Amino acid sequence: MDVSTITAYLEHKLPKATGLEVAGLRRISGGASRETWSLDATWQEGGSRSERGFIVRRDPEASLLDTERHVEFQVYSALQSTEVPVPEVLWLEEESQWLDRPFFVMERLPGEASAQVVIADGAADAIARQKVQVLAQIHAFDWEGGGLAGLRRPDVPQDSPDVEIAHWERIMREEALEPQPALEMAIAWMRASKPAPERIALVHGDYRTGNFLVHEGRITGVLDWEMVHLGDPMEDIAWVCLRSWRWAGDALVGGLLSRDEFYRQYEGAAGVEIDRAAVHFWEVLGNVKLAVIFLTGARSFIEGRSKDAMHAFTAHLNPDIELEILRLIE
Amino acid sequence: MRPNSAEILQGVQGSLMTYILPEVQGDFARTELMLINVLLGIATRDLDIAAQILVDDNAALRGLAREVAKVLKDAPRDGTDDMVELLENHAGTSDPSVRISDLSATNDALRDTISRAAVALTGATESPHVELRARIIARLREELQRLPHNLLGPRADG
């Protein structure tokens, strides 16, 4: 992507703009399935000068995860004007004519996503409380009324575990290049240890410190909805608690608060009791999911479809994740 | 005298960090370069120990395959009928060479067979099977802990 191509695209989307200029085009690290680019644009329109920051989420050559860009776009759209803070999404391009690959464009919100920066923030306690409240709001979202009934979902709440096990097992079987004993044992354990969820909610699928923006002590936007689906909200609770996200290197969930405090705040915000056994199940699934995502990236790197060093690096995190899986299913 | 493969990789790491990194603009490119440096470090270390790790692991897995076969022969369990002979066969193999590709192929075959046995033991309630599953998990844990790639640092349980 270069300045001239993105300028031509914006001129096409903003036909009344004159003198459009793009500055600060840069790729941002992160994002499991799509490249993220940031840019600033200025232009004249209706006699006045306009200025706006944009984020472009472009399909990669290969990724950690194969997800549907229109699903992510659709969820961002559905959550506009709700209590869940998300950036405004502007344009979805399914064809490759503009930037070589499909992409979508959204506004750039102010804030910092880096987990290390967020947990070192002087307002970390307030951010932790907001993080819990926003998660409860996601789970309370009326997904049927909000037009999201088409997301991956179980027919009945009790089927949520089966749907997710099957989803990640399928990807593991497609992507793994060598036997995966810990993951195989985890899948067998999950089949024998399924909870029976009682409701279907919107599940973010990757809700963790590092995937929301923080500005001046408050959460300004929840990002990275690539793994969104409908299912058991306890799945998100477990994902928040994964060891891999304990950025401070201690027992604090997401580097922000203790597991007990997280549970207490969520129960207060959502008005539901956390099913500890279900969270344990979903924590096993979360670790399997993370390991499978890294296997996918490793394969794309090994086969030469990806040149991103991150895809080789993350595969070396899997032994640690497998140790955690064995601890959980022992 | 000339630098060997590990020394070349270490030298490349030093060159990247000393001469290239300061010249690189852009957060994404700098992050990529830092990751490349970590990967070169992993590759350097693996050059020296990867074959030994696989040789040791294959020997341990053969011992485990022998043990699993014996337990399943003495106390059969549904879904394991065809496994005893397979496990015994694997237990009697040896490494064809010390090439990483050969050692890895043997390792994959051993892990696959033991993995199938471990899956069949899920949910077992009889003590020989429960104990066997625990021993398989302990063996897998030992193997994983030998992989010196704890890149994220220590994390507390809980």
- Three-state secondary structure call for residue A204: coil
The answer to whether the Cβ–Cβ distance between A317 and B152 falls below 8 Å is yes
The reply to whether A123 and A49 lie within a common domain is no
The answer to whether the Cβ–Cβ distance between A243 and B144 falls below 8 Å is no
The reply to whether A55 and A194 lie within a common domain is no
How far is Cα A300 from Cα A60, in angstroms, rounded to an integer?
Answer: 11
The reply to whether A42 and A162 lie within a common domain is no
The reply to whether A179 and A258 lie within a common domain is yes
CA angle A100, A101, A106 (to 5 degrees): 115
The reply to whether A211 and A241 lie within a common domain is yes
- Residue B68 CA, distance from chain mean position: 19
The answer to whether the Cβ–Cβ distance between B108 and A313 falls below 8 Å is no
Within 8 A of B149 by CB-CB distance, chain A residues are 316-317, 319-320
The reply to whether A160 and A265 lie within a common domain is yes
Two structure tokens written together for A84 = 């869940």
How far is Cα B11 from Cα B5, in angstroms, rounded to an integer?
Answer: 10
The reply to whether A177 and A235 lie within a common domain is yes
The answer to whether the Cβ–Cβ distance between A244 and B152 falls below 8 Å is yes
The reply to whether A41 and A91 lie within a common domain is yes
The reply to whether A150 and A248 lie within a common domain is yes
**Among A72, A63, A62, A64, CA closest to A94:** A72
Look at chain A and report how many structural domains it folds into.
2
Within 8 A of B155 by CB-CB distance, chain A residues are 243, 246, 249-250
We report the CATH number of the domain holding residue A278 as: 3.90.1200.10
The answer to whether the Cβ–Cβ distance between A26 and B111 falls below 8 Å is no
> What are the residue boundaries of the structural domains of chain B, listed by start?
5-145
The reply to whether A31 and A143 lie within a common domain is no
For chain A, 330 residues long, give each residue's pLDDT as a single digit of tens. Answer: 899 999 999 999 999 999 999 999 999 877 667 889 999 999 999 889 999 999 999 988 765 566 678 889 999 999 998 999 999 999 999 888 899 989 999 999 999 998 988 988 888 999 999 999 999 999 999 999 999 999 999 999 999 999 999 999 999 999 999 999 999 999 999 999 999 999 999 999 999 999 999 999 999 999 999 999 999 999 999 999 999 898 777 889 999 999 999 999 999 999 999 999 999 999 999 999 999 999 999 999 999 988 889 889 988 889 999 999 999 998
Looking at the complex, does the CB of residue A13 fall below 8 Å from at least one CB of chain B?
no
The reply to whether A154 and A290 lie within a common domain is yes
The reply to whether A119 and A103 lie within a common domain is no
Q: Final residue of a domain: which of A57, A72, A107?
A: A107
Within 8 A of B112 by CB-CB distance, chain A residues are 179
Going from the C-alpha of A195 to that of each of A72, A163, A170, B96, the distances in angstroms are 28, 13, 21, 46
The residue segments making up the domain with residue A20 are 3-107
Going from the C-alpha of B37 to that of each of A29, A180, A310, the distances in angstroms are 16, 27, 11
Whether this model's pTM surpasses 0.95: no
Within the 28-57 window of chain B, which residues sit less than 8 Å (CB to CB) from chain A?
28, 31-32, 35-36, 38-39, 42
Q: Final residue of a domain: which of A44, A72, A107?
A: A107
**pLDDT tens sequence across A180-227:** 999 999 999 999 999 999 999 999 999 999 999 999 999 999 999 999
Q: Final residue of a domain: which of A107, A127, A153?
A: A107
The answer to whether the Cβ–Cβ distance between B28 and A28 falls below 8 Å is yes
Is the predicted pLDDT of residue B158 greater than 50, yes or no? Answer: no
Are B30 and B24 spatial neighbours (Cβ–Cβ below 8 Å)? yes
